[in-house]
Structure 1
Amino acid sequence: MTSSLSKISNVLFRKKTFEGGSHLNSQMKRCLTILDVMFIAIGHMIGAGIYVLTGSVVRNQAGPAIILSFIFSGFAALLSAFSYAEFGARFPRAGSAYTYSYVGMGEIWAFIVGWTVPLEYMIGNAAVARSWSGYFDSLVYKSVSNWTLEHVGHLSDGKGFFAKYPDFLAFVLLFIVAVAVAMGSKFSANVNTSFVVLNLAVLAFVIVCGFTYADFSLWSGNYPDGTSKFFPYGIQGAVSGASTCFFAYIGFEALATAGEEAKNPHRTIPLATFSSLAIISVLYVLMGASLTLMVPYDQIDPDAAFAAAFEMKGATVAKVIMSVGALAGMLNNLVTGAFALPRAVYAMADDGLIFGWFGVINSRTKTPLNATIAFTILNAILALVFDLEALVDFMSIGTLLAYSMVSVCVVILRHEPQLIDGSETEYDDGGNLKSWVPFRGFWHKFSEGISIRCAVGTLIFGYVCLALPFKLGIFSNPGGIILLIIGAVCSLIAFIFILGHEQNKSTATYKVPFVPFLPCLGLLINVFMMVYLNLMTWIRLFVWLAIGIVIYVCYGIRHSKEAKKLNTVASSHMSVLKNGDSKVH
């Protein structure tokens, strides 16, 4: 029984290994510069969401304190970005969080992360395509939707999963974007760069134009009822707004999928990560400031904040230019999403965990063309017939799961032994327990790495216990207090136990500072936000994972290249032993 469990464990938790410099080998062409990779992240972060999200948070959650909300949420995103930057520099592969989880946690965890990422991109791309179509339709006075309803008819009443009418414009748009992406990484990067430059120019114009109408009295003093003009919802409003604003930063991880095509990825990925986040953070803060200085927060239209504000000021030209920026921003999202999606799929196929056909690289374009074609068709069908509003939360849980896993992997890998430079057999002290840790003898009975994994697992359990009372609104009830105490004790003990492990002497070109403090803080924020997602989102996640696990059990386990590699090593050891025995006899 124990032997069987051990074999299953070895299969499920086998890790991806790279020999020598094989992590730098790629079938794709390394042609992307720092600017290209940085613009991929910026393009994926800036979309129509910034124009809509800002107004909603200002009006309903934070008021002018939205600038603090963006700063808080930017810091939260930075905590995850630290981990992505380290892994992107150490393992510059197309799989992003999937590859990092494979290296740090093992095959089954990598598959779980890798299986959620493509669906996240598909839903995101389809939703953005429908948003672009709807925005364009509103600019032409609903002529597109009216023509479709008149000549094609209704699909549904619009209250379920199916859309009210088929969105042919979104369908065609996704294929046009896919053609641009399939023509090669450099070509799609140039297309993306063009849209990013246009969008940044529009944002700069909107910010400057907004500041020309600035009235600083809207920020200073109090209203007649004593409410602060800057903090109309209090400091808790700024914090609440930060949790919403965090999703405006989602997208920086898309640049990690370009790791296999980046020139000098050890330097490119960290620099592009932090540069893109810095630029976006400054833009978001300035956007929030210009909006709240233009009009009183309680007069802002949450659905069309900037357009309504400019209309109130009589700035018709600014309103039109802003509309162009919104369309360009959504096209940015589509290009970067269409770029990242097939690469995430390719990474899993290349490792043998899903069907190898998806891992074929076109000899002329040096892109995963099969994956691009297949998933564009699925994307286009989603955009054509489904109302995706109910599924958008699924994007969040997939992203937060990936962020959490990457933070966990940084902690685990930092506490694993590394070969000492110049030696093929000697390891450093990474993962060893420090002398002050109690029960050291107990942990020495277990295989290498078990103690740090138990500590991280306990830490996550503690974080969930801390988050649940706030989610359920029971933090003042006896049950809530018990959960808070359990969560605090588990988290504290687990964190101290992690500190009790020696860190390795890794010579990676970039390393997350202040480990384990920063990754564990980032993990805490991600776990809280995951707990706050609604129950249906979790149910959909488990259903999608169940489908994936069936594919993994029926196909991935048997075709895993890592398994074949381990079998080859085992066979070579057996042949060496047999040859040794024959010589003795």
Structure 2
Amino acid sequence: MGFFSSLADDGKALLTSTAWGFSPNEYFEVLRKFPHVLRHRVCKIKTKEEMEVDAEEKGPLKKTLGPVGLTAVGVGLMLGAGIFLTPGQVSIKYTGPAVCISYVIAAISAYLSCFCYSEFAVDMPLAGAAYNYIAGSLGEFMAWVVVSNLLFEYILADAAVIRGFAPYFAILLDKPSGFFVYDWTFGGTTYTIDWWAFGLTLAMTAVLALGAKESTTANTIITITHVVIMVFIIIAGFIKGDSANFKPFFPNEQPDQWKQVFNGACIAFFSFIGFDGVATAAEEVVDPAKSMPIGIISAITVVSIIYILMSVVLSLMVPRNKIDPDAAFAAAFEYVGLSWAKYIVALGAILGILTGILMGIYAPARILTSCCREGMLPPVMSWVGPRQTPWVATWIIGICVAIIALFTDFAHLTDMVSIGTLVVFWFVAVALIWRRMHVPGAPKTPLRWANELLHVFGMIGFSLGFVLVWTLPTYNTVEDDDGVVSVGEWKDQQYKWLIAMAVLCAATPLSMYFFCKPAYVPAGYKVPFYPFIPCASIFVNIFLLGQLSVESYERFGWWTLGVSLLYVLYGVFAAQIKDDKRLSSTPDLADPSHDVCEKPSENKADLDVPGALELELAATKV
């Protein structure tokens, strides 16, 4: 009865202004000074202490996870439907047997990012992950825009994962893969309806809302079983594989083989979406300093090995033109005469899909909770239930996933997914570098400001330059009047520019190492080989972003415009009113916020005061 009583109390609270962050009078009070408030909020950097206070006010999450459970969260997130569907689709559409190279490239990008995430996760062990990291380094507005795109990516990826359940469940019952779905035409548009995806999503959401420990324990058990099945598939695949299927390694008909491999890596990256979900669980980890790096790096290692080996096995078992895009591994075992093994594959796929959707809702619910704590969305969405789970955020994510999965099939969803995650990984790497260079409130000379900005923007600019040289159509191919594609007129000069940009990209972190000494170094886990790894992460993520389709950028642009308007019309007001209330309750404290846009100090006396940094940092304590 206590659980339902708590829900009833929360329902009554919905009628009050506290559920939405402000009253009408408070809204109009901020509106009077809107230009000043907007400038302040856009550049506002959140301190770790402020984030901890917000977590305490809204209700902290229960600490239940250790290294094994944390690793299982990451593996469960990443080893979903992607392991059974994405390798086949990448091989058919882009790479042929070279699909394994695409997965190596995608894994490298994920590895570089996971080191950056580990440093932040140990230093800021709170729900929200990337939002907290970017808000604590680059400012509130940038964090909101970037992480809102990540939330959208999670919802789309979850819908894609759960859409893989019905085909494999049909195979398990010895039915055609399309047995449980049907087409429905409405308004001239045909939708492939999947009620299994809809119902299972809501069921998994209910499990998550009941308790983090119960859901993560179930995930650990299912994930271990799933990995055992993966090992069986890999061993059986190598035994039944034929090296002749690996020839040609690159498809003959592709005019630019490596470009196809990198395009495939962007789709393969869909399979790694979710490792940052391990970082979102930091607030529920018993010993973050020890467990977070182990959990993040272990999850990436396990998943990378399995994905690469699985893609090799698929190419050995089946020629490219015989791969079934809807059930690649099940069809592959039938092709090599092991029809009975397709049932084991189907069972493994189902287990992976269940853990994928379970953890795929778990992670964005924590991100959404963090955004609501910061005032970007109504506080009602961050309410923590009787079992210390963010039950409102969990149900919001689950319902959105269920509705999208009901109407949209896997292929359409995967084409829309990777861009937001790559952008987040890129921003986290930039945020780590800036945080190491720039301590908010610490006095700095204009020369140091210029030096830091030059190096950061130089790394970004040279990486963009390399991508432009690589991808611009005039450098790669031309098409004549008869539709024949041939090498472009500037192709002979392309390699010179590529070498020049690559040298500049490599020289920038080297220069940063000697001329941009860190102003802040965390006490716990640190990114190894700083600044080379975060700079490499910037380069790889920008390069992969350069391979995505125009449609992906259009979707990204419209969504970014929408969330920016939401920030201006709601987030600015709610966040400012929340901070004003906190300051009014503690009038003896100075405003703890700092602007990333603050002007460099030109007062030499300020720069020479001993202990100025320590005093400034002490003033930020809440």
Q: Same fold (TM over 0.5)?
A: yes
Query: Which residue number corresponds to residue 398 of structure 1?
Result: 420
Q: Which sits farther off after the overlay, 452-461 or 179-188?
A: 452-461
**AA partner of residue 580 (structure 2):** K
- Residue 46 of structure 2: aligned partner: 16
- Correspondence for 2:3: none
1:201 aligns with 2:231: no
Q: Which runs of 5+ in 1 are unaligned?
A: 420-426, 433-440, 576-585
Residue 282 of structure 1: aligned partner: 305
- The residue number in structure 2 matching 1:471 is 471
1:215 deviates by 4.6
1:447-482 CA-to-partner distances (Å, cap 9, x unmatched) read xx5652453234323322321233332236679969
- Partner Cα distance (2:582, 2:347) in 1: 54
In the aligned structure 1, how far is the partner of 2:438 from the partner of 2:208?
A: 39
The equivalent of 1:372 in structure 2 is 394
Q: Say if 1:117 and 1:344, in contact at 8 Å, map to a contact too.
A: no
Q: Which amino acid aligns with 1:396?
A: S
Residues 443 and 478 of structure 1, relative CA distance in 2, 3 Å threshold:
farther
- 1:33, distance to aligned residue in structure 2 (A): 1.4
Q: Does the CA-based 8 Å contact 1:348-1:354 persist in structure 2? A: yes
Contact kept in structure 2, 1:79 and 1:519, CA below 8 Å? yes
Aligned length in residues: 537
CA displacement, residues 215-244 of structure 1 (integer Å, 9 cap, x when unaligned): 55766xxx7xxx679999898376665444
More moved, 178-187 vs 231-240: 231-240
Q: In the superposition, relative to structure 1, how do residues 254 and 442 fare at CA in structure 2: closer, same or farther (>3 Å)?
A: closer
2:334 is equivalent to residue 334 of structure 1: no
Deviation at 1:336, TM superposition (A): 0.7
Q: Where does residue 543 of structure 2 map in the other structure?
A: 528
Q: What secondary structure does 1:402 align onto?
A: helix
- CA apart distance, 1:184: 0.7
- Number of the residue aligned with 2:282: 259
Query: Structure 2: where are the runs of 5+ without partners?
Result: 1-32, 476-487, 592-622
- How big is the shift at 1:357? 0.3
Report deviation, 1:392: 3.5
Identity of aligned residues (%): 29
CA 1:44/1:299 → structure 2, altered by over 3 Å: closer, same or farther?
A: same
Residue-by-residue CA offset, 1:185-227 (whole Å, 9 max, x unaligned): 11110121122122112111111222332455766xxx7xxx6
What's the CA shift for 1:263? 1.1
Structure 1 residues 555 and 67, CA, compared in 2 at 3 Å: closer, same or farther? closer
Matching residue within 62, 66, 69 for 1:29 = 62
Letter in 2 for 1:379: V
> Alpha carbons of 1:308 and 1:134: their partners in 2 closer, same or farther (altered >3 Å)?
closer
1:498 equivalent in alignment to 2:520 = no
1: distance between equivalents of 2:178 and 2:473? 45
C-alpha displacement of 1:7: 6.7
Contact 1:213 1:294 in 2 (8 A): yes
| Counterpart residue number, 1:344 | 367
The partner residue of 2:147 within 108, 114, 117 is: 114
Aligned to 1:548: 563
**RMSD, aligned CA:** 3.8
Equivalence for 2:239: 212
- Aligned partners of 1:120, 1:32: CA distance in 2, in Å? 25
User: Are the equivalent residues in 2 in contact too, given 1:158–1:164 (CA < 8 A)?
Assistant: no
Whether contact under 8 Å (1:342, 1:375) holds in the other structure is yes
User: In 2, are the aligned partners of 1:123 and 1:388 still within 8 Å (CA)?
Assistant: no
Task: Specify the alignment match of 1:183 in structure 2.
Answer: 210
Residue matched to 1:43: 76
Code of the residue aligned with 2:211 in structure 1: it is: G
Tell me if the contact between 1:80 and 1:407 (Cα under 8 Å) persists in the aligned partners. yes
Q: Which residue of 2 aligns with 1:436?
A: none
Shift of 1:4: 10
Q: Which amino acid aligns with 1:182?
A: A
| Residue 39 of structure 1: how far off its partner (Å) | 0.8
1:411 maps to 2:428: no
Q: Deviations over 1:67-106 (max 9, x none)?
A: 4443343222111111011111111111111111011111
Inter-CA distance 565–530: structure 2 relative to 1 (3 Å threshold): farther
Give 1:378 deviation, angstroms. 2.5
Task: Map 1:500-519 to 2 at 5 A.
Answer: 500-504=515-519, 506-519=521-534
Matched, 1:291 2:314: yes
* Corresponding residue for residue 156 of structure 2: 123
Instruction: Tell me if 1:572 matches 2:617.
Output: no
Determine the structure 1 residue equivalent to 2:575: 560
Aligned match for 1:70, one of 74, 91, 103:
103
CA contact (8 A) 1:342 1:372 kept: yes
User: Could you say if the C-alpha distance between residues 232 and 508 of structure 1 is closer, same or farther in structure 2, counting changes exceeding 3 Å?
Assistant: farther
The 5 A counterparts of 1:445-460 are: 451-453=451-453, 455-460=455-460
Partner secondary structure for residue 281 of structure 2: helix
- TM-fit CA distance, 1:112: 0.7
CA contact (8 A) 1:41 1:276 kept: yes
The Cα of 1:283 is off from its aligned counterpart by: 1.6
What code does the residue aligned with 1:464 have? L
Separation of aligned partners in 1, 2:346 and 2:450: 54
Structure-2 change in CA distance of 1:13 and 1:154 (3 Å): same
Cα distance in structure 1, aligned partners of 2:269 and 2:436: 27
Measure, in 1, the Cα distance between the counterparts of 2:585 and 2:434.
25
Contact 2:133–2:431 (Cα < 8 Å) also in 1: yes
Deviation per CA, 1:391-412: give whole Å up to 9, x if none: 5333211111110111001111
- Point out the more displaced range, 263-272 or 308-317: 308-317
Name the SS for the 1:99 alignment partner: helix
Matches within 5 A, 1:136-147: 136-137=169-170, 141=175
| Shift in CA distance, 505/123, structure 1 to aligned 2, threshold 3 Å | closer
The aligned counterpart of 1:437 is none
Matched, 1:443 2:473: no
CA shift digits 1:492-514 (9 cap, x unpaired): 78656634211135243111112
Alignment CA distance shift 1:98-1:20 (3 Å): closer
Measure the CA separation in 2 of the matches of 1:98 and 1:574: 24
1:60 shift after superposition: 5.7
Q: Distance in 2 between matches of 1:469 and 1:442?
A: 33
Separation (CA, whole Å) in 1 of partners of 2:234 and 2:582: 57
- Maintained 8 Å contact 2:267/2:415: no
Task: Identify the range of structure 1 (123-132 vs 85-94) with the bigger mean alpha-carbon deviation.
Answer: 123-132
The one-letter code of the counterpart of 2:165 is W
Give the structure 1 partner of residue 25 of structure 2: none
The corresponding residue for 2:620 is none
**Alignment partners' CA distance in 2, 1:497 and 1:304:** 49
Deviates more, 1:505-514 or 1:51-60: 51-60
The answer to whether structure 1 residue 168 and structure 2 residue 184 are counterparts is no
Separation of aligned partners in 1, 2:223 and 2:189: 33
Shift of 1:322: 0.4
User: Please, which of 371, 379, 384 is the counterpart of residue 361 of structure 1?
Assistant: 384
Residues 266 and 418 of structure 2 are in contact (CA less than 8 Å); yes or no, is this contact kept in structure 1?
no
3-state DSSP class of the match of 1:474? helix
Alignment partner, residue 270 of structure 1: 293
How far did 1:300 drift? Answer: 4.5
Q: Contact 1:62–1:232 (CA<8 Å) still a contact in 2?
A: no
Specify the code of the residue in structure 1 equivalent to 2:148. Answer: W
Of 461-470 and 485-494, the range deviating more from structure 2: 485-494
Asked whether the equivalents of residues 128 and 333 of structure 1 are also in contact (C-alpha less than 8 Å), the reply is yes
Note if contact 1:132-1:330 (Cα within 8 Å) is conserved in structure 2. yes
1:321 aligns with 2:338: no
Provide the residue aligned with 2:607 in structure 1.
none
Residues 1:529 and 1:17: Cα distance change in structure 2 (over 3 Å): same
Q: Secondary structure at the match of 1:105?
A: coil
**Residues 308-365 of structure 1, C-alpha deviation per residue, up to 9 Å, x if partnerless?**
3311222122111101111111112100111112111110111112101011111x21
